[in-house]
Amino acid sequence: MVMGMEKRSGLGVFCAMMVFVLLKVQVGNAAVYKVGGPAGWTTMGNIDYQKLADANTFHVGDTLIFTYLPTYHNVMQVTNAAYKSCNSSAPIATYRTGNDSITVTTGGHHYFLCGTPGHCQIGQKVDINVLLVSSMASTPSPMPSPSVPPVMVPQPTLSEATPLHASRFLANLGLAMVVIAKFYM
């Protein structure tokens, strides 16, 4: 009788751990994107920021990393009209550290440009379109295709971001397996 109780108790722990793992997968869908890749946020190298942004699907909770030399650049979040006209006179927010981390908290378009005179006009701007549907309500996003190689977090480019949910899932699954193994040993 005691042996049967131990097995049922172990099964209960296993089920509880699997529920925990599945919940962690649903919450951990955020990704980190380094705007401009290795070059960062710059006017050098003729980077097409919009092409990189269009190659990705952004979700609420994702983080954008802007790295740049703060003596030459900044990051300004602006309205659509200001973005189109490269007008940096009334930004929604301004970032100046040279290593800015911006987590998107709402869906829709998020417009960013460099406020240094002339930089926006030569292409140092990006429109990040964030899905309006919550990523937690949708099915888990697929892993990147082999044609888009993953890059280590926190430095992936806009076109090479690796969703964090897969690594969290594996870590939680591993933890669950260790706990289960402890109960059966």
pLDDT tens digit string along 3-58? 444 444 454 444 333 333 333 333 357 899 999 988 999 999 889 999 989 999 99
Beta strands in the chain, from DSSP E residues, in sequence order = 32-34, 63-67, 75-78, 93-95, 99-103, 108-113, 125-130
How much is the average pLDDT of 133-159? 47
Note if the pTM is more than 0.75. no
Q: Look at residue 184 and tell me whether its pLDDT is greater than 60.
A: no
**Which tops the pLDDT comparison, 63 or 16?**
63
**Which tops the pLDDT comparison, 175 or 109?**
109
Q: What's the pLDDT at 28?
A: 56
Identity at 180, one-letter amino acid code: I
Phi and psi of 128, rounded to 5°?
Answer: -100, 115
Q: Look at residue 70 and tell me whether its pLDDT is greater than 50.
A: yes
Q: What's the pLDDT at 178?
A: 52
Is-contact 159 148, C-beta < 8 A? yes
Q: What's the pLDDT at 148?
A: 41
Considering 1-5, 110-114, 154-158, the range whose residues carry the highest mean pLDDT is 110-114
pLDDT confidence tier of residue 110, bands split at 50, 70 and 90: very high
Q: Which three-class secondary structure state does DSSP give residue 82?
A: helix
Distances (CA, A) of 95 to 8, 66, 67, 100: 56, 9, 11, 7
